[in-house]
Structure 1
Amino acid sequence: MHENFIGLKEEKRDIIINSALLEFAAKGYDLASTNEMVKAAGISKGALFHYFVSKKDLFFFLCDYVFEVVSREFYEQIGYCSGDLLIRYRRAAMLKGAVYQRHPPMFEFIKRLTVEKSPEIAADLKELLEKMISYGYECLLGNLDTSLFRQDVPANKIRDLISWALENYGNRSLELIGEKKVADIDIEALNADFDEYLDVLRKCFYKQ
């Protein structure tokens, strides 16, 4: 559907994508201006709408683009480590940080997606986010080595408790990051703090 855009030179395509990602991230869907996007990208508005039929079409192209990058560089890489759930979460944290450092505009866009409230895109966005989350959990929780868990507690309970704890930890981290840009985030400090919590969970739920 977007063959004309995909066929552009990579450098020009990336400039347009990043300009649009940052505009949506800064203002949200309703207030995002295509005029500002084309100004930042150095193209005409006619050119933008030659590639995308509407602002909504552009927005969901960006969502699909982000999902593709996150799937390739993050989700699909998690399963290449052991079946130890905590090691997977540790690898996931490292991979996520690396992806966001490579693609700062994408990081800003994803942060906005979690709080986007526009009625025009609400239903489609909800469906897309559910798809992304479901795929992420499939990669993270598939083929676990539950023999590592304590044997006096059902393995599915341990898996769920760890997942809920670390999901809430991730939400708290996003709140602490707030409006900070990727370059201003102390990734090493975040990883060190995360490791401390992983150690606690290992002591609580794994064989000693």
Structure 2
Amino acid sequence: MNEAFFALPEEKRQRILNAALEAFAKHEYKKASTDDIAAKAGISKGLLFYYFHNKKELYLYLLEYANEAVRRAAQEANLREETDFFEMLEKGARAKTGILEQNPYLLDFTVRSFYSSQEEVSQAVAASYQQKVGSAFPDYFSHIDFSKFREGADPAYLFRMLTWMTDGYMHEARQRGIPVDSGTVMEEFRRWSQIFRRMVYREEETGGAPGGKPEEPAQEKGADTE
């Protein structure tokens, strides 16, 4: 892309990015109109392609922009201070949803791009996500206290499962035309985390009873049970 884009005032750069995010969030890649993007951003189409040589380059930059925004939010949340696997995941999810709240189209764009298929950008998008998922665990979880896990549990695979569930939940909501807000996503994420916590953590880490539920006090023999 043209370095002249980065020389623009912040407000103008953000206006262009927001217009592009809105277009690609609402439409599949091939149906998103660069004419609409330019008009929404308040620039000519020729100028848009001066900054970004073509539509694909603009789209892939948006993907990089979204990934960087999430990475920066995670960094600012000081995730490395948290040693519990599930607490760190929730802290990271809150940081991510905070970024998404700042730009309502960023969430829809990331969900739509994740399920991109048979389009000009699909192969590049798939490669980007594979790289992101592959590097996320060693990058963010190296400091976690894995001694809390039961023998045989696979934290890396569990992380991928939670990622799939979150992305799948948002995709299903979008397919059904149901608005997805960060509060609802976080509520569901906490439910899934609690279920998995009881499944994979040692008993002493989940309240001392199998399944993570506190043990009921034993009834004394002959005690009134009514």
Report the Cα distance in structure 2 between the residues aligned to 1:161 and 1:130, rounded to whole angstroms. Answer: 14
- 2:38 maps to 38
What is the count of residue pairs matched by the alignment?
Answer: 201
Q: State the TM-score, normalized to the length of structure 1.
A: 0.84
- 1:69 maps to 69
Amino acid at match of 2:158: I
- 1:206 maps to 201
Amino acid at match of 2:30: D
Over the residues paired in the alignment, what is the CA RMSD in angstroms? 2.4
Matched, 1:167 2:163: yes
- Higher alpha-carbon Rg: 2
CA pair 26-9 structure 1, distance change in 2 beyond 3 A? same
Is the CA contact 1:74–1:99 (under 8 Å) kept in the aligned structure 2?
no
Is the CA contact 2:111–2:167 (under 8 Å) kept in the aligned structure 1?
no
Query: Which deviates more from structure 2 when the two are superposed, residues 110-119 or residues 38-47?
Result: 110-119
Higher relative contact order (CA 8 A, sep 6+): 1
Report the Cα distance in structure 2 between the residues aligned to 1:121 and 1:136, rounded to whole angstroms. Answer: 22
Q: Report percent identity of matched pairs.
A: 26
Amino acid at match of 1:44: S
- Which runs of 5 or more structure 1 residues have no equivalent in the other structure? none
- Off by >6 Å, runs of 4+ in structure 1: none
Is the CA contact 1:75–1:136 (under 8 Å) kept in the aligned structure 2?
no
- 1:134 maps to 134
Is the CA contact 1:89–1:140 (under 8 Å) kept in the aligned structure 2?
no
CA positional deviation for 1:197: 3.2
Report the Cα distance in structure 2 between the residues aligned to 1:170 and 1:73, rounded to whole angstroms. Answer: 18
Report the Cα distance in structure 1 between the residues aligned to 2:130 and 2:76, rounded to whole angstroms. Answer: 17
CA pair 142-25 structure 1, distance change in 2 beyond 3 A? same
CA deviation string 1:169-204 (max 9, x = no partner): 31342145324455xx260x4434433332333333
CA deviation string 1:65-88 (max 9, x = no partner): 112212111367463232211111
Amino acid at match of 2:170: L
Q: State the TM-score, normalized to the length of structure 2.
A: 0.78
Is the CA contact 1:35–1:45 (under 8 Å) kept in the aligned structure 2?
yes
